[in-house]
Amino acid sequence: MEIKKLPIEDISEFISIVSRSYPGMKLVSEDDLQKTAERFIDIQENDPTTSLYGTYRSGKLVGGMQFHDFEMMLHGQRVPVGGIGMVAVDLLHKKEGVAKSLLEYFHKHYHEQGTYFTALYPFRPDFYKQMGYGYRTKMSRYRVRPAHCRKDLQKHTSLI
């Protein structure tokens, strides 16, 4: 397998793989796929903190991932962190070690850059546990629609 930064011409194929790997994203119509591909082409070309990488077998794209470069505070100092997202494998190539190869490349990539912290949001904790990731304290995510916020907040600023 060869893993490399995803060329622009392969991003549409990667988005097709993502649509089949993550049906919850609801990338169903050709229009949805095209708009998403255009968004990721823009990210690949213009966002220096985010990159797409692909895995190729015999020259065919069989999976991919997205890297995120960011920083976190550690003992009062900013340290670099590598993040990974959208790990997707073509359904015809599941259970062939593609995802494991992607994660190994991810770790090697950031280690070679001198970035010793990595982070991810594990949708399958059992898989990522095998890759060395552990559990942390509970994380709660709250989503509030603006329509549910009080419109008369200024009248009650003494309550804040």
pLDDT exceeds 70 at position 86: yes
Q: Tell me the pLDDT tens digit for each residue of 109-134.
A: 999 999 988 887 766 677 667 666 66
Average pLDDT over every residue of 30-44: 91
The rounded percent of the chain whose pLDDT value lies above 70 is: 81
* Measured distance CA(159)–CA(73) in Å, rounded: 32
CA angle 111, 76, 106 (to 5 degrees): 20
Q: What pLDDT is attached to residue 37? A: 92
pLDDT at position 159, please?
A: 47
Instruction: Give this prediction's pTM.
Output: 0.74
Higher pLDDT, 22 or 138: 22
- Report phi then psi at 124, rounded to 5: -130, 85
Task: Report the range of poorest mean pLDDT among 63-67, 75-79, 80-84, 152-156.
Answer: 152-156
Task: Order across the sheet with 50-57: list the strands.
Answer: 2-5, 50-57, 60-74, 77-89, 118-120
| Residue 75 pLDDT | 83
Q: What sign results for the dihedral spanned by CA atoms 24, 3, 9, 41?
A: positive
The rounded distance, in Å, linking the Cα atoms of 54 and 60 is: 10
The CATH topology of domain 2-124 is Aminopeptidase (3.40.630)
Domain residue extents for the chain: 2-124
Alpha helices in 7-74 (DSSP H): 11-21, 30-46
Measuring CA to CA, which residue among 92, 33, 15, 84 is closest to residue 57? 92
pLDDT number for residue 118: 86
CA 142 vs CA 24, 52, 86, 139: distances in Å: 19, 28, 22, 10
Indicate the DSSP class of residue 35.
Answer: H
Q: Is the pLDDT of residue 96 over 50?
A: yes
How confident is the model at residue 20, as a pLDDT? 86
Helix, strand, or coil (residue 138) = coil
Query: Does position 61 have pLDDT exceeding 80, yes or no?
Result: yes
Across residues 67-71, what is the average pLDDT? Answer: 93
Instruction: Give the pairing of strands 77-89 and 118-120.
Output: parallel
CA-CA distances (angstroms) from residue 79 to 3, 134, 139, 151?
26, 20, 22, 40
